[in-house]
Structure 1
């Protein structure tokens, strides 16, 4: 119990506002790497996922590449790219590894959101004269948005936890405090920095969970609940 008290004392100590890397600055760096990497991953994965879901082509390749990207060890990839690209481009090396980590979840959310749409809904759009692009932008993308947000949410949680390894190549973030605590054998600092990472992840998860609920189109909610009401409704033969 004393370890936890010491950890919270470390977090709220006035010393955290001073020094080489104040805690507030470390959190901002951590968030910067997280959102920057996820944004770059989304620029790649979202259009690719929409194209796969809309055309139905390339899903097997996407699943294979996503699985391969998930299996890459993030720390090993950061160090490898750091050595290959050079010391002057260590930020780029770290960001590339975080982008590769975030792509699979976003890609899966993008194409799964479109694949989950009832085919009758899409056929109804085509029946009223919508072009393929109109079907994509007016039906598939809006209705697939909840699963896409879920994919982004998963990617953010994966990246925010992994960004701590950026400190291994001297990039700061909350990993700096973790590594410093390990080097100085300071358990309060190690646990305190870990708690901050966990709290940050939980806060981001809550924000994206709320965003996911807000962005669910009203028609989707009605469509999901309709079968249950219909099952309770007596059939005309037994009326």
Structure 2
């Protein structure tokens, strides 16, 4: 198996990195779109209970929709390619982003806001200097969960012609060749693990900074 993997990279390294690039592009674009939608909506949900209730219910509904089923439902409407894959992945990424954004802003202690108000801060200053920094670890955790979900689910985008590392996995399944499956699966797992460890490190740094900056 090891020699077959080495042989694949010797003869197909350019193709492999093309798949990695497609996978990362799909992941990053999906994450960017999801954040543009979820972060403002989550912040609004932390301020208005009806919006929060809607976001939670919406996130719960999205969680029960299988990603593969959503992909196939979009094919008759939009067709195949990048666009339906992006829509399906955005739908999968929204729940953790929405829930963690609402949770993060709700967890900001009123005491910090009272101190800021007493110091003469405006609502904009309170939001920028107190609320967002203190909610950031929760928001980052939501982003971490979302990006891991996207990386794993993006393998299914191969079914509708969006490319990515899933091409290796499904090629291996079609050819009954474990070499392709192992390379694709290990690559997806490595990307997911790298993203998770990177965000865990960033969250720890932000929390450490918050403790030193906002200790009362």
**TM-score scaled to structure 1, two decimals?**
0.83
Question: Are residues 1:79 and 2:75 paired?
Answer: no
Q: How does 1:51-66 map to 2 (within 5 A)?
A: 51-66=44-59
**Measured at CA, do residues 75 and 7 of structure 1 come closer, stay the same or move farther in structure 2, by a change above 3 Å?**
farther
Distance 1:14 1:6, change over 3 A: closer
Shift of 1:133: 2.8
Q: Is 1:17 aligned to 2:10, yes or no?
A: no
Which residue number corresponds to residue 210 of structure 1? 201
Aligned position for 1:68: 61
* RMSD, matched Cα: 2.1
Instruction: Describe the shift of the 1:7–1:68 C-alpha distance in structure 2 as closer, same or farther (beyond 3 A).
Output: farther
Tell which structure's C-alpha radius of gyration is larger.
Answer: 1
Q: Deviations over 1:156-215 (max 9, x none)?
A: 000000000010012210000111111111022212211111111111112212222233
Q: Which consecutive residues of structure 2, in runs of 5 or more, have no partner in the other structure?
A: none
Q: 1:170 to 1:215 in 2, by over 3 A?
A: same
Out of 18, 23, 28, which is 2:21 matched to?
Answer: 28
Counterpart in the other structure of 1:160: 151
SS at match of 1:72: coil
- Residue equivalent to 1:124: 115
What is the total number of aligned residue pairs between the two structures?
A: 216
Alignment of 1:135-214 (within 5 A): 135-214=126-205
Give the TM-score, by structure 2 length: 0.91
